[in-house]
Amino acid sequence: MVVISCALLIWKIVYKPMNKLPYFVRRLLFGTALVLGVTFISFLLMVHFGPDKTYELIGKNPTEQQIAEVRHALGYDRSFLLRYGSYLRELVTLDFGLSDSSGEKVSSMLARSLPISLLLVVPGFVLGNGLGLILGMLAVWYRGRWLDRLVTGASVAGMSVSFLIIIIGLQVLLCTPHGLNLFPVRGWQVDGLASYLFYVTVPTLALVLVTLGYNTRYYRAIIADESEREHIHALKAYGATPYELMLKHVLKNSLVPILTRLMFSVPLVLISGSLLLESYFGIPGIGQVTFDAITSGDQPVLKAVIGLTGVLFALALTVNDFLYKVVDPRVARS
Amino acid sequence: MPKTTQCVILLTLLLSVACSPGDPDEVTTSKVYRHAMDGAPASLDPAQAASLYSKFLVVNLYDTLYRYKYLARPYQLQPNLATAMPEISDDGLRLTIEIKKGVHFIDDPVFAGGLGRELKAMDFIYSIKRHFHPSSRAQGAWLWQDRILGLDLWKAEGSDYDQEVSGLRALDNYTIEITLTRPFPQLIHTLTQGFAAVVPREAVEKYGQQLSSHPVGSGPFRLISRNSTRAVLARNTNFRQEPFDLKDEGYDQKTQGEVGLEDLQNKVPPFVDRLEIEFVTEDAARWNAFSAGEIDFIKVPVSQFDNVLSQRNPPILSSQHEDIYQFEAASEAGFIYTNFNMADQRIGYHPDPERNRRNHALRCAMIKAFDWKKRNEIFFYDIGHVFPGVLPPSVPEFDPEADAGYIQRDLESARQLLRVNDWQADNLPVLEYGFPNSVTERQIFEQFRNFMMDMGYPADKIRPLVFATYGDYQRAYSQGKVALINSSWTMDYPDAENNMQLYYGPNAAPGSNSANYNNSEYNRLYEASTALNESTERTQIYRQMNQLLMNDCVSITGIARTLLFLWDKKVIMKPDRSFLGGYFLRFVDLEDSLQTHE
Amino acid sequence: MESVWQRLRSDGYGMLGFYIIAVFALAALLVWSGLLGQSWAVVSGGRWESISSTHWFGTNLLGQDILQRTLFSSATAFEVGLSVTILSTLLGTVLGALAGWFRSSWLDELILWVKGVLDSIPFYLFAAAIAFALQGNRWAMHLAMVITFWTTTARIIRGEVIRLKQREFVEAARAIGLPPRTIIFRHVLPNTSHIVLVQATIVFVAAIKTEVILSFLGLGIQNGVSWGLMLAESSQEVLAGHFGNFAAASIALFLLLVGFNLLADSLQDAMDKRRSVS
């Protein structure tokens, strides 16, 4: 409680002069505060209270001294602030040291696994959003008619299926003798386009199915909003073709909310989406690396993953603010 | 559209990064053996070869002084890097071991000119010393501490690698002398361990912690690539030329005649050019990959026993599999058991003699309520081997005459024990049952709770305590926070001493005696037996200790799993998983007609 | 509120959703009152028994009745859904209202900062972290969800309060010198109740879905059974051809979620119409 009230007091004192700074400087400061907050909270939870690897690294029948040695080697005996300080330094230098499990360089683990994850989620991400956008436009164009109802109904159904059910169901249907048995149950031995399609199809389908409902609904709402604008009605009255209308005017004007959604879903899809997909399909991407790090208490890897996604997200938030300001000057005035 | 083009370019770029070029050594017509394991090794550094999975790879990447014979069962020691079995002094305290000349480490930039240098006696000594260096993160010190003369002192004086240890000396480049503080019959077994594999000092000094993913050894294989789902190894072309000898490896034509091992006589191992080892934790995925022909070997998951076997006892392969697969059923060297935490006053020792007696009765009642038959049926397809105590059928000390009542469910006497000792639903203690998170562990817990419910134990008084990592679980029970500790013990070497130390008082938590059992009689017997080799005398003592454990109702124990191995007929081998299973890989061969692999 | 209910009644899909939820809620109530699903932990049959008159959905590996477990799980779903929804909605509404009312003040920026920080940590990692920090505490999952779910509600309420602050009745209240606390809680917030309701149903859906994933990852339900745990079990069984757990849990989960999504849609529509009228 004392800590909190002190923090509040400091916040108030610092806040006053900050208010007088120009808008973008303030945004920048806010972004920095965000990064500090993210790193602090994730560090506190994941590292300070986090998993303890000591007992996995000691041999059988250890002495107290051996336990202390392992804790020392892992750096657990250093003070909280010191460890947080070195965490910040690691984030800045992008040097996260070595994994506590495999002894590999964390940076090379990320460099190895990140491209795989990108390859894994990019097709699903593009398709999920592209199809969502197209369906959303179709629904708006045929608003109130059967196609709209179908799309809306299907998206409600899509939103009601758990990711887990989709993954398990697709695996049974497409990868086992109980179904079509066309694709591999697991793995990722990609060395060309054919093998890439072989391994990526089922995860992509899963990703599309789980996001399509939400995407369609979101894009439908945005496009519907935009189509209500007066100039669109006017254009329609002048006999603009649906294609022209949708692509040239409506879509162009909805670009900001669409970009926003895309930007914010990238880190989510990359970490949360690939976490499930990769641990289920045995794909050695960033999600699997993270999952292994959770279940083996590999703090250097966890620190890197949380820190980097947190920073990316904070960046996206800040960039998004700027974006809105550029598009909509009213934001800047207020 | 330019966007599409950009996307394509991006994707192509990503593809080219992710599918980084296959290794240059890949030869399209080489013999490739594809193995599957149910877990992944964390580290490939011998000093950290604690898990089954790490050991499996380490003994293939590095050399040990001794190994086990490929085919002889029960296990027999065989010189590996050593020229012969050690010369042992009369008092049993001094061992002299000669090692082979001309053995080289694999080529690596760490050596002068990039060429692997010769392996010397000093390298072995350095490798053992590593376990006693505080910052090496080594995990094998428990094998040798208090046992090798001067080693603990060496550590106490600051672990200076240049300082000699009196009990661990290189008499010359090829002769090692080990001096013990007290007789230690298991010493040679410890020298087969991955922990005792030989590492070159310069590699440790150069790669540090990264040695665990960059092995520099002298074993039959070397590492090509590894990630969290697979490892690829290639034949070490400089591995010492030692022709295979059936007789030497303990071949028995009667039981092993069908596999095609005779053809291997006088060939020089390793026989395959490339090992692809898949780490697949999910049983179903592993099985599917095996039936699709993506891997050559599998430890059959229990859920497939129905499908694979036409008969359980003894296990017989079903006809549809008989034609394509070779098959072997082996009893695991180890067992699964559930310890009571004796240091917990709710269930274990209690200063009040009356409560102490009632706790003992409660434990005995829980053991009687436990249904081994059901446990075996549901989780081990009825082909696991249930036995009383800690001497499983795989050790020669196993006693077929031992008290079978200990593993016999008897709900009536369990209830009566509770009644007589004044245990009712409202005064029974709340007990935490710990397990690391997994579906199967949870099911095992639910079954356990059901057994206890049958006896009248209230369901809400047996609570799950789930841990995200195995290490956190270990920490919790080592710190006494878990009342019921479900574990499995995989024997480190084929000597029952390895099991008996599990309940030796001084090994209490954080040691391997997680039950915190402390019986002076048991301790005395254990100490008296440490100097003894396997013998009738020692067997008597071990059986006596086993009975003590059962009398005190310390543990619900145990079952030794029966492992079913299935492998493609084109592969010529006798697989193994016990102890240091990986030793067999160098003897794996593929039928010539099928040696080409897409 | 009255008019929303009337509009809802005239919407067939909305009512369908409502009835589905009512049936599950009834099941949950019966479970809580000890009348249904009490023998979810009891072994009452053999391994993987198929559908029969004694086991309507068959049995699982241990021989537990899958129907019993499915029923008990609906109570788990409601326990998680209700507790997370109520707490995160309360938190989100209050903080959102404060941020909106004192817009651009230090308080607003502080709340936005906390929200930004929480939004920036990948959710499953955050839940894992909370689970670690609380070491097996049964409320760890609930807490993780409450801490992360309030932010969306707060954002929406903040926007709505900013809008309402400019309305005449609020100006009037300020003119006669009512303290901000009274205005916010007596006059402004009641006018956001429809938004809160819609948002609450959405949070409910998110909570149930998240429970499934977290339980699958082993970070969720500790003692008991849930659809997530059943699906986790099923993931080991389906490839061996046993579909009981999978079918039961996924159908139940799907139905309840459809119910909530239909209701949320319908409420949203009703609210939009009301808004456009007023």
Name subunits touching C (3+ CB pairs < 8 A): A, B
Interface probe for A, chosen from C117, C166, C209, C245 (most Cβ of A below 10 Å), is C117
Query: Which residue bears the tokens 């070997």?
Result: B297
Tally Cβ neighbours within 10 Å of residue C178: 15
- The verdict on domain B334-560 having CATH code 2.60.120.380 is no
Listed residue (A146, A138, A158, A149) closest to A224, CA to CA: A138
Judged by a CB distance cut-off of 8 A, whether residue C223 touches chain B is yes
Chain A positions touching B492 (Cβ under 8 A) are 60
Residue A17 is predicted with a pLDDT of: 66
- Between CA B471 and CA B223 the distance in angstroms is 28
Judged by a CB distance cut-off of 8 A, whether residue A46 touches chain B is no
Residue type, B535: S
Judged by a CB distance cut-off of 8 A, whether residue C134 touches chain B is no
Q: Which residues does B569 contact at the CB level (< 8 Å), separation at least 6?
A: B323, B324, B325, B326, B591
Let me know: does C247 contact C65? Beta carbons within 8 Å. Answer: no
Chain C positions touching A11 (Cβ under 8 A) are 106, 110
Q: Which residues does A30 contact at the CB level (< 8 Å), separation at least 6?
A: A318, C109, C112, C113, C116
Give the three-class secondary structure for B562. strand
Q: Does the beta-carbon distance from B284 to A191 stay under 8 Å?
A: no
pTM of the complete model: 0.90
Domain boundaries, chain A: 115-297
Q: Does the beta-carbon distance from B285 to C136 stay under 8 Å?
A: no
The tokens describing A2, both together, are 């004392």
- Between CA A6 and CA A8 the distance in angstroms is 5
Domain boundaries, chain C: 4-37+56-277
Residue B200 has pLDDT above 90, yes or no: yes
The tokens describing C168, both together, are 């005449």
Q: Which residues pair with B222 in a beta bridge?
A: B234
Q: Mean per-residue pLDDT for B163-171?
A: 95
Residue B133 phi/psi, 5° resolution? -100, 125
Judged by a CB distance cut-off of 8 A, whether residue B280 touches chain A is yes
pLDDT digits (tens, 9 = 90+) for B352-398: 999 999 999 999 999 999 999 999 999 998 899 999 999 999 898 99
Q: Does the beta-carbon distance from C223 to B463 stay under 8 Å?
A: yes
Question: In whole angstroms, how far apart are CA B79 and each of A72, B288, C95, C223?
Answer: 38, 39, 73, 52
Let me know: does A127 contact A318? Beta carbons within 8 Å. Answer: no
Chain A positions touching B11 (Cβ under 8 A) are 119, 122
Does ipTM exceed 0.85?
yes
What is the sign, positive or negative, of the torsion defined by CA atoms of C197, C199, C202, C203? negative
DSSP B403: -
Chain A positions touching C246 (Cβ under 8 A) are 165, 168-169
Residue B19 has pLDDT above 50, yes or no: no
pLDDT digits (tens, 9 = 90+) for B451-468: 999 999 999 999 999 887
Chain B positions touching A129 (Cβ under 8 A) are none
DSSP B148: B
Average pLDDT, consecutive stretches of 10 residues, N- to C-terminus, chain A (334 residues): 65 66 78 87 81 86 89 88 91 90 89 92 94 92 89 92 91 85 85 92 94 92 83 77 77 83 78 83 89 86 86 80 68 44
Mean pLDDT of the residues in chain B? 90
Q: Mean per-residue pLDDT for B425-450?
A: 94
Q: Does the beta-carbon distance from B466 to C41 stay under 8 Å?
A: no
Residue B23 is predicted with a pLDDT of: 45
Measured CB to CB, residues of chain C less than 8 Å from chain A are: 104, 106, 109-110, 112-114, 116-126, 128-130, 132-133, 205, 209, 212-213, 216, 228, 231, 234-235, 238-239, 241, 246, 250, 253-254, 257-258, 260-262, 265
pLDDT band (50, 70, 90) for residue B8: low
Let me know: does B386 contact B376? Beta carbons within 8 Å. Answer: yes
Residue C47 is predicted with a pLDDT of: 86
Q: Mean per-residue pLDDT for B213-220?
A: 95
The tokens describing C266, both together, are 């319908």
Residue B27 has pLDDT above 50, yes or no: no
**In the sheet that B484-490 helps form, which strands lie side by side, from edge to edge?**
B385-386, B555-560, B334-340, B484-490, B431-436, B462-467
Tally Cβ neighbours within 10 Å of residue A6: 10
pLDDT digits (tens, 9 = 90+) for B115-133: 999 999 999 999 999 999 9
- Between CA A156 and CA A216 the distance in angstroms is 10
The tokens describing B255, both together, are 């039981």
Compute chain C's Rg from CA coordinates: 22
Give the chain C residue whose CA is nearest to the CA of A316. Answer: C120
Name subunits touching A (3+ CB pairs < 8 A): B, C
Which letter, b or e, does each residue of B556-587 get, where b requires 16 or more Cβ atoms within 10 Å of its Cβ?
Answer: bbbbbbbbbbbbbebbbbbbbbbbbbbbbbbb
**The listed CATH number (3.20.20.120, 3.30.499.10, 3.40.50.2300, 1.10.3720.10) that belongs to domain A115-297:** 1.10.3720.10
- Between CA B388 and CA B400 the distance in angstroms is 9
Q: Does the beta-carbon distance from B48 to A187 stay under 8 Å?
A: no
Listed residue (B242, B248, B159, B140) closest to B493, CA to CA: B140
Residue A333 is predicted with a pLDDT of: 44
Phi-psi region of C7 (alpha: psi -120 to 50; beta: other; left: phi over 0): alpha
Q: Which residues does B504 contact at the CB level (< 8 Å), separation at least 6?
A: B513, B522, B523, B526
- Between CA C78 and CA C73 the distance in angstroms is 9
Which of A45-49, B84-88, B141-145, C148-152 is predicted with the least confidence, judged by mean pLDDT? A45-49
Judged by a CB distance cut-off of 8 A, whether residue B523 touches chain A is no
Residue C278 is predicted with a pLDDT of: 46
Give the chain C residue whose CA is nearest to the CA of B463. Answer: C223
**Distance, in angstroms, between A229 CA and closest chain B CA?**
28
Q: Does the beta-carbon distance from B471 to A72 stay under 8 Å?
A: no
Report the alpha-carbon angle B367-B369-B371, nearest 5: 95
- Between CA B129 and CA C244 the distance in angstroms is 55
Q: Classify strands B484-490 and B431-436 as parallel, antiparallel or unpaired.
A: parallel
Listed residue (A186, A203, B316, B443) closest to C237, CA to CA: B443
Question: In whole angstroms, how far apart are CA B107 and each of A244, B110, B117, C242?
Answer: 66, 8, 8, 51
Chain A positions touching B285 (Cβ under 8 A) are 185-186, 282
**Distance, in angstroms, between B303 CA and closest chain C CA?**
7
Residue B595 has pLDDT above 50, yes or no: no
- Between CA A167 and CA A161 the distance in angstroms is 10
Let me know: does C160 contact C195? Beta carbons within 8 Å. Answer: yes
Q: Classify strands B175-179 and B168-172 as parallel, antiparallel or unpaired.
A: antiparallel
Let me know: does B583 contact B250? Beta carbons within 8 Å. Answer: no
Q: How is chain A split among helix, strand and coil, in percent rounded to 5?
A: 80, 0, 20
- Between CA A316 and CA A313 the distance in angstroms is 5
Which of B80-89, B201-210, C9-18, C78-87 is predicted with the least confidence, judged by mean pLDDT? C9-18
**Range 148-177 of B in CB contact (< 8 A) with A:** none
**Distance, in angstroms, between C209 CA and closest chain A CA?**
6
Q: Does the beta-carbon distance from A104 to B212 stay under 8 Å?
A: yes
Residue B191 has pLDDT above 90, yes or no: yes
CA B538 from centroid of its chain's CA atoms: 24
**Distance, in angstroms, between A175 CA and closest chain B CA?**
9
- Between CA B573 and CA B249 the distance in angstroms is 13
Name the strand (E) or helix (H) holding B589: strand B589-590
**Distance, in angstroms, between C73 CA and closest chain B CA?**
16
Fold entry, domain C4-37+56-277: MetI-like fold (1.10.3720)
Question: In whole angstroms, how far apart are CA C5 and each of C2, C196, C261, C269, C270?
Answer: 5, 15, 16, 12, 8
**Distance, in angstroms, between A11 CA and closest chain B CA?**
37
Residue B18 has pLDDT above 70, yes or no: no
Chain C positions touching B444 (Cβ under 8 A) are none
Residue C8 is predicted with a pLDDT of: 76
Q: Does the beta-carbon distance from C47 to B377 stay under 8 Å?
A: yes
Dihedral angle, C-alpha B447, B451, B453, B456, nearest 10 °: -170
Q: Mean per-residue pLDDT for B270-293?
A: 88
Judged by a CB distance cut-off of 8 A, whether residue B429 touches chain A is no
Measured between CB atoms, which of B288, B463, B472 is closest to C239?
B288
Tally Cβ neighbours within 10 Å of residue B456: 17
Name the strand (E) or helix (H) holding C84: helix C66-101
CA B44 from centroid of its chain's CA atoms: 15
Environment class of residue A326 by beta-carbon count within 10 Å: exposed (0-12), middle (13-18) or buried (19+)?
Answer: exposed
pLDDT in tens, chain C (278 residues): 556 677 778 888 889 999 999 999 999 999 999 998 888 989 988 888 888 888 999 999 999 999 999 999 999 999 999 999 999 999 999 999 999 999 888 899 899 999 988 888 888 888 878 877 787 788 889 999 999 999 999 999 999 999 998 888 888 888 888 888 888 888 888 888 888 998 999 999 999 999 998 888 878 888 889 999 999 999 888 877 889 999 999 999 999 999 999 999 888 888 776 665 54
Q: Does the beta-carbon distance from B289 to A53 stay under 8 Å?
A: no
pLDDT digits (tens, 9 = 90+) for B477-535: 998 899 999 999 999 999 999 999 999 999 998 899 999 999 999 999 999 999 998 89
Q: Does the beta-carbon distance from A161 to C257 stay under 8 Å?
A: yes
Q: Does the beta-carbon distance from B135 to A69 stay under 8 Å?
A: yes
Residue B185 is predicted with a pLDDT of: 92
Chain B positions touching A292 (Cβ under 8 A) are 40, 228
Let me know: does B178 contact B94? Beta carbons within 8 Å. Answer: yes
Q: Does the beta-carbon distance from B468 to A51 stay under 8 Å?
A: yes
Q: Does the beta-carbon distance from C43 to B465 stay under 8 Å?
A: no
The tokens describing C137, both together, are 């505490």
Domain boundaries, chain B: 334-560
Let me know: does A27 contact A326? Beta carbons within 8 Å. Answer: no
Judged by a CB distance cut-off of 8 A, whether residue B84 touches chain A is no
Environment class of residue B444 by beta-carbon count within 10 Å: exposed (0-12), middle (13-18) or buried (19+)?
Answer: buried
Residue B596 has pLDDT above 60, yes or no: no
The three-state DSSP-derived secondary structure of B215-278 is CCCCCCEEEEEECCCEEEEEECCCCCCCCCCCCCCCCCHHHHCCCCHHHHCCCCCCCCCEEEEE
Q: Does the beta-carbon distance from A34 to C121 stay under 8 Å?
A: no
- Between CA B554 and CA B422 the distance in angstroms is 20
Q: Does the beta-carbon distance from B378 to C132 stay under 8 Å?
A: no
Q: Does the beta-carbon distance from A156 to C265 stay under 8 Å?
A: yes
Compute chain B's Rg from CA coordinates: 26
